[in-house]
A and B are shown apart, each in its own frame.
Chain A
């Protein structure tokens, strides 16, 4: 099964985690996706692992690992919202780091800001044990295959 087939299958079954084995970097991080029980979107889940540590003395995960979780969650939600079979491309990502991410599992949810015909704008938010206490958030723009019914200009 190639990536395209995996995406097609994920659309049918709703299980987006089945795409992950096809993405080497997602596998390296150990990221997973679950359907949001309260909404339409996908929740990213990054289980704690030693190789994600950024600062062992203060007990913090690496900002780059959190950044990757934010980006993956954006990519997968942009994919989920579009009808495309190719993985959306990141145009830009603006991350705010607001709290230290501890040695715990990290989760991430996305909120759609605007779905254009080619550009999807999302807000992604990462948290640990308390969903109301964000550790980081980002605004992300993704380039997707043209979406039917997406808003016209700009993007």
Chain B
């Protein structure tokens, strides 16, 4: 993949999968790199995400969101955005606590897809994979975009809003 293509896909992922998703934006994740094999995201340390006030260690919930999003981006880049991907299951193993102050990196690999399912594994680490924080394994359901259904949901939601 050449540099120009990487920058183009990277810009797309940053815009639609990070900045366009309120929770991802709130957490402050960033697109880092993409190749044929993987997608990499970064997550800078923020004391607001500590799960323990005295140690400052990041809560596992942030890592769940981080790994889920990076895995989702790996699926979308693999299928070139042809369907919508929804997480079916996600297993996370926590190897060791994320030290406060460190930027976390996540590398996700979508290693197989079928017509309806995508399989992804991901690793969260500090500088190199010698320092693993967490590993995950996930499956995603691939659903074709259905514009009429989306419109229906939108109308229904607007109607609810009007009632309220």
Distance from B120 Cβ to chain A, minimum over Cβ atoms (Å):
13
B91-A67 in contact (CB<8A): no
B54 to A25, Cβ gap below 8 A? no
Q: A64 to B41, alpha carbons, bound, how many Å?
A: 15
Contact B23 A93 (CB under 8 A): no
Partner of A71, one of B22, B61, B154: B61
Q: Can you name the residue of chain A whose Cβ is closest to the Cβ of B50?
A: A24
Asked if B54 and A67 sit within 8 Å, CB to CB, the answer is no
Contact check, A62 vs B24: say whether CB atoms are below 8 A apart.
yes
On chain A, the residues within 8 Å of B20 by CB distance are 56
Closest A residue to B90 using CB positions: A95
A3/B54 contact (C-beta < 8 A), A67-B61, A93-B91 known? yes
With A50-B22, A58-B150, A92-B94 known to touch, is A23 a contact of B86 (CB < 8 Å)?
A: no
Q: How far is the CB of B24 from chain A (nearest CB, A)?
A: 7
Residue of A2, A23, A89, A93 with most partner-chain B CB within 10 A:
A93
| Closest chain B residue to A93, Cβ basis | B92
Nearest Cβ on chain A to B87's Cβ, whole angstroms: 5
How far apart sit A89 and B49, CA to CA, in the bound complex (Å)? Answer: 16
The answer to whether A28 touches B49, judged by C-beta atoms less than 8 angstroms apart, is yes
For A24-58 the 0/1 string (1 means CB < 8 A from B) is: 11111100000000000000000000111111111
Q: Using A3-B53, A92-B92 as known contacts, list a sample of 12 further A-B pairs with CB atoms less than 8 Å apart, ordered by residue number in A.
A: A24-B51, A25-B49, A25-B62, A28-B49, A56-B21, A59-B157, A62-B68, A67-B90, A71-B64, A92-B91, A92-B93, A93-B92
Query: Can you pick out 29 interface pairs between chain A and chain B where the beta carbons lie within 8 Å of each other?
Result: A3-B53, A23-B59, A25-B61, A25-B62, A51-B26, A52-B22, A52-B23, A54-B21, A54-B24, A55-B21, A57-B150, A58-B150, A59-B157, A61-B23, A62-B21, A62-B24, A64-B23, A64-B61, A67-B64, A68-B61, A68-B65, A71-B61, A72-B61, A94-B91, A95-B89, A95-B90, A96-B88, A96-B89, A100-B86
- A interface residues (Cβ-Cβ under 8 A, vs B): 2-3, 22-29, 50-59, 61-65, 67-69, 71-72, 87, 89-97, 100
Name B residues whose Cβ lies closer than 8 Å to a Cβ of A.
20-27, 47-54, 58-62, 64-66, 68-69, 84, 86-94, 97, 150, 153-154, 157
